A and B are shown apart, each in its own frame.
Chain A
Amino acid sequence: MFQVPNPVSFNDSDSQPDRRSFMASAARQLLGVSFFAGANSFGGAAPEAAAAASAAGGKKAKHIIYLFMDGGLAHLDTFDPKPGTEEGGETKGIATRTPGVYFGENFPRLAYLSGALAVVRSLSTETGAHEQGRYLMRTAYKQLNSIRHPGMGAWMAHVAGQTNQELPANILIGADNDHPGAGFLDPALTPVPIANAAYGLKNIKLPGYVTEDSFKRRLQLANKFDRDFRQRYAGSQVEAYNQMYLQARRLMGSNALKVFDIKDEPEAVAEAYGKNPLGQGCLLARRLVEQGVGFVEISSGGWDMHQDLYEKLETKGGELDMALSSLLRDLHSKGLLDETLVVLATEFGRTPKINVNAGRDHHPGAFSGLLAGAGIRGGQVYGASDEKGHLVDSDHVSVGAFNATIAAAAGLPTDKEFFAPNGRPFKIGGGAKPVAALLA
């Protein structure tokens, strides 16, 4: 239970010297040796020291990488374990490097990096329905018919603008249909979905026989043929398409699209992140952030573990542990962690009671999230659930406050009113106050 977790290790059985030296240097670069040293040096030290050593510093985030665990992350088996209790189930706790803080056993790598993490254990909502829960978590507003609220990526692009002139400011990795997108903001701020990180953005090149000239000609033709229709049906639906056509056009042929070729990464790096959609999504996110993209969400499905939770968690938990820990190290080694905020979120937790199918059901009463990097005070646990993980016991963090904290860490205003086309005012974080203790 108190084993010192192994950091990411590469298979070094390969005997070729050049490959081995390449691996060693890749490992150094990737693992962020200095990050490691820092983590080691405060092992066992007071939480203040850990927080001070957290890579983030006091700078505001210029980028946000937002990992969404779609389906409902089981708080009791991940970042809020209660080993030894009936509700704790089969999950054993492992010590993190933050004194007195334990994670579930599937997260040794993140346990090792706990000095950089702010663990929020006191989230709760009122909805146990996926769709509504996801919407609320992403927008800080309750889902309504009469308005669509913007997700954080759209807010960020709206306020901070596009930091890379060629690449979109808001990207969503992993197919996710019911994302709130740009909400009532400009449809051009809708996240560009990348269904599969390994393939990147598809269809970005003209077919061999179409020259750039004939492509232009075709577009002009389309615009002429379409003129009447667009006038007759001017409105936001049609305008959204007009915008997307412009964006797609701008993207095509841009050199900046190289960012999507994650095959350019050394194999060792790709493996360290994990060759699965979440791992490769995180790797792509790092590449995008490196190129100045503001907001990248990675949506990872498969967390709705109503059945055989422990079997599933071994795989999914391991993937998350590798992906997120590698992301943090990699960002750090590239000097990006002090300008990048990394968030782990989900729509709700899972029931303390284990059901007849060895799973856990939806539980909005208490659940956990993680924050790390720029703007965040790491090395701490904020809030607590009760002894059964059933309800929030102390320092409740509402979904609004969680969103407002993210916004504040990225220097986005949480007090300012923004007006929807219908004239109603909205705030980033839904009017909630950021949690000061979480901020650097």
Chain B
Amino acid sequence: MPRSLACCALAPSSLPDRSGPVDRSGPVRPLAFLLTLAAATVLGPSAGAQKPPTIRLPESVRQLKPVAMEVAPVDASRREEAKAKAAEITRLVDKVLQEKGIAANGMSDDYVFLRRIYLDVAGRIPTLEEVQAFSNANPETRRTELIDTLLNSPDYVFNFYNFWADVLRLTEEPQANIIADPYLAYVKDSIRENKPYDRWVYEMLTAEGKVWDNPAVGYQLRDEGQPLPYLDNTVRVFLGTQIGCAQCHDHPFDNWSQHQFYQLAAFTAGTKTRIDGRDPEFKQGNVASKLINDARAEIREKDPKGYLSGEFQRLVRANTYRVSEIKQTLRLPHDYAYDDHEPKSVVEPAVLWDKVPAEAASRSPRHQFAAWLTSPKNKQFSRTVANRYWKRLMGVGIVEPVDDFNDSNPRFNEELLEFLSEEMVRLDFNTKEFVRTILYSDAYQRESTPFELTSGEPYYFPGPTLRRMTAAQAWDSILTLAVYNPVPFERPTATEMAPVLDLDFTKTTVASVHQAAAKFRDTYYMPIYKRELNTHAYKGAVLCRASELPQPLPGDHFLRQFGIGDRESINGEQPGATVPQILTIFNGPITHVMLETGSRIYDNVDRVSGNPRMALDVIFLSILTRPPSSSDRRTAVTEVITAKKPAIGYGNVIWALLNTREFLFIQ
């Protein structure tokens, strides 16, 4: 029989017992009542007996403040349809399991499900209040309801932004003079409005203009000046196909010839990324360089040691990046080594497979390429994205690596892959509905299995795999424990930035640019902007969700230590264990912030600290999303009783739970 949970008023039958002996002591009280209990004790040793405690957390994270964001909701009327498709997913998984003689895992219990679904959809663990809400909800429908609620929340946007940021190598400064913030905001916004994936990709592949006028050009600017790597990356990310080697020679392990690579590159050869002498602004020469030189000369005249401000130069240079498409033929390299074509001969554009959709035939080459790549008929496009989401939620892709579908990489469940790919198309690339379908499935909701791809074994999905939290999930979960408002500032959008950033080179003077640069400095100039974020910092760590922090972060930031990418390689995130991670959890500010007076978990424990049983429930539910087992409880109670002060004992228990593998892994 399930245990009762004093502090959280989890209905006795509502969540399963995972903790051995039944413990019926302690009153069942709603949390609301407990919240009225007087604050009594403190966790940190710093707090004196009666003095009002010093709060060292920044004020901006101390107040509950829901994120104001209109998130495109799932379609309530499609729930049954999603359930039916989810059942089909499970059937296809089970079919292969049966063939292989492998038993499917049992269904995960409610606590495991709750923690997993929060981490997978919201990108963080649930708060104490959210655990309570779930436990009070109708057991028949609460899993489904919660999935929908989370898919409709801003958390979903933050979480899936992190997912795409790793794929697309999102950074504010892909090159020293490119400003990409508007593009980053655009990616987030595309997730927020649940823009159909095919349209989103099409926009990125065809956008023209400056990044604050049309932020989708940021995708092109990520590989500015590198037309061939751009193509290689694009095909790899969206088609799960690696043609990079064919840039230099015929691909030794795959079917791509160097000529095919160049044929594909011929579509995008006319992409121009900078204003130059062919544009009206620069008819009289490079105005940008002239502005910088003139401004520098003026300064040097007054003071030989004077220097021109960084913001002036950055603003001027950033304005030289403008994407457009011109007529341009592509020629084979001079050292083209194969007999089929002459070196330096003109290459006619051709796609790798199928053909350019008829309706796009009259469009420009860049548009033709995008139309082919994103076409619902291009199976490799839908397969790749379906497999990426599957891996994100199940731990392992049906094909691995997710960006290399070559024939030597096995498909663990061919039929399932095709089904998911068709679903993606049937849903018109509505990725949220697609994710919803997977989450509804028993296949997803089963218990997890510890599995590593590098074992060389195939994986047939008896359940999701045991995964270490991503760096962002770990960081955002710690914030969930520590602060009330994990999003104390918002990042600028294209609309906000455009009036500040845009220069018209036909009208600029040194004086007018100085004025504009001053405004830029006061708003979005990154070095200053970053410094100002420190108003939200605790001991040097800016307490804000990972999705909002400028990237890449310095190598010794918590997120980097836990493997978030440097945004240089596609899917650069690594989940491996290292010593500095542990030292950071042991001794770094980020674990200690929650032992500070005024942290969210501190306050929650503080309210009930006179009652060890409740306090321990609060601690375990907050950190591990489960109540203490009876042996946990014995251990913890002993700790609290034998500590010099109970508060110190609670602090030790909190610290200890953060240092469990159970905290760091998603079951």
Contacts and interface: CB of A to CB of B under 8 A. Distances in A.
Interface of A: 126-131, 145-148, 168, 174-175, 177-178, 181, 184, 187, 190, 192-196, 199, 201-207, 209, 214-215, 217-219, 221-222, 224-226, 228-230, 233-238, 240-245, 247-248, 251-252, 301, 306-307, 352-353, 357, 359, 361-365, 390, 421-422, 424
B569 A126 contact: no
B245 A146 contact: no
19 contacts: A129-B232, A145-B400, A145-B409, A146-B455, A147-B454, A190-B578, A193-B579, A196-B555, A202-B580, A217-B639, A218-B655, A222-B655, A222-B660, A229-B662, A238-B665, A243-B577, A244-B578, A244-B581, A362-B247
B556 interface: yes
Given A146-B456, A195-B555, A203-B586, A175 B560 contact: yes
Contacts of A306: 225-226, 229
A362 B248 CA distance: 9
Interface string B434-467: 0000000000000000111111110000000010
A229 B580 CA distance: 23
A275 to B, nearest CB: 17
B501 to A, nearest CB: 22
Contacts of B560: 175, 195
Contact of B579 (A130, A192, A301): A192
Interface in B629-667: 629, 631-632, 635-636, 639, 648, 652-653, 655-657, 659-662, 664-665, 667
B583 A235 contact: no
Contacts of B629: 228
B244 A225 contact: no
B215 interface: no
A199 B554 CA distance: 12
Contacts of B45: 209
Contact of B661 (A196, A199, A238): A238
B587 A226 contact: no
B660 A225 contact: yes
Contact of B450 (A217, A228, A238, A357): A238
Contact of B556 (A195, A225, A251): A195
A235 B555 contact: no
A237 B656 contact: no
Given A129-B245, A252-B586, A193 B577 contact: no
B563 interface: yes
B661 A229 contact: yes
B271 interface: no
Interface of B: 44-46, 225-226, 228-229, 232, 242, 244-245, 247-249, 252, 333-335, 400-401, 409, 450-457, 466, 468, 554-556, 560-561, 563, 565-566, 568-569, 572-584, 586-588, 592, 629, 631-632, 635-636, 639, 648, 652-653, 655-657, 659-662, 664-665, 667
B454 A178 contact: no
Given A228-B629, A241-B661, A218 B652 contact: yes
Contacts of B456: 146-147, 422, 424
B580 A221 contact: no
A194 B580 CA distance: 8
A130 B569 contact: yes
A225 B242 contact: no
A168 B579 contact: yes
B245 A422 contact: no
Contacts of B583: 201-204, 248, 251-252
Contacts of B588: 202-203
Nearest to B409: A145
A206 B587 contact: yes
A253 to B, nearest CB: 11
A147 B586 CA distance: 31
A353 B335 contact: yes
Nearest to A247: B579
Contacts of B660: 222, 225-226, 229
B248 A177 contact: no
Given A203-B583, A205-B587, A421-B455, A224 B578 contact: no
A251 B552 CA distance: 29
A424 B454 CA distance: 12
Contacts of A130: 569
B578 A233 contact: no
A177 B667 CA distance: 24
Nearest to A130: B569
A187 B26 CA distance: 45
A177 B632 contact: no
A205 B662 CA distance: 25
A259 to B, nearest CB: 14
Contacts of B245: 126-129
Contacts of A201: 579-580, 583
A142 to B, nearest CB: 9
Contacts of B554: 195-196
B334 A353 contact: yes
B657 A225 contact: yes
A390 to B, nearest CB: 7
Given A187-B577, A209-B44, A252-B586, A307 B225 contact: yes
Q: Would you list the 3 A-B pairs with minimal beta carbon distance, nearest first? A: A195-B555, A175-B555, A235-B450
A245 B580 CA distance: 10
Nearest to A134: B569
Given A192-B578, A352-B335, A357-B226, 13 more contacts: A128-B244, A129-B242, A146-B456, A178-B572, A195-B555, A218-B659, A225-B662, A233-B450, A233-B665, A235-B452, A237-B577, A240-B576, A251-B579
Given A203-B587, A218-B655, A236-B452, A364 B577 contact: no
Contacts of B584: 202-203
B541 to A, nearest CB: 12
Contacts of A352: 335
B468 to A, nearest CB: 6
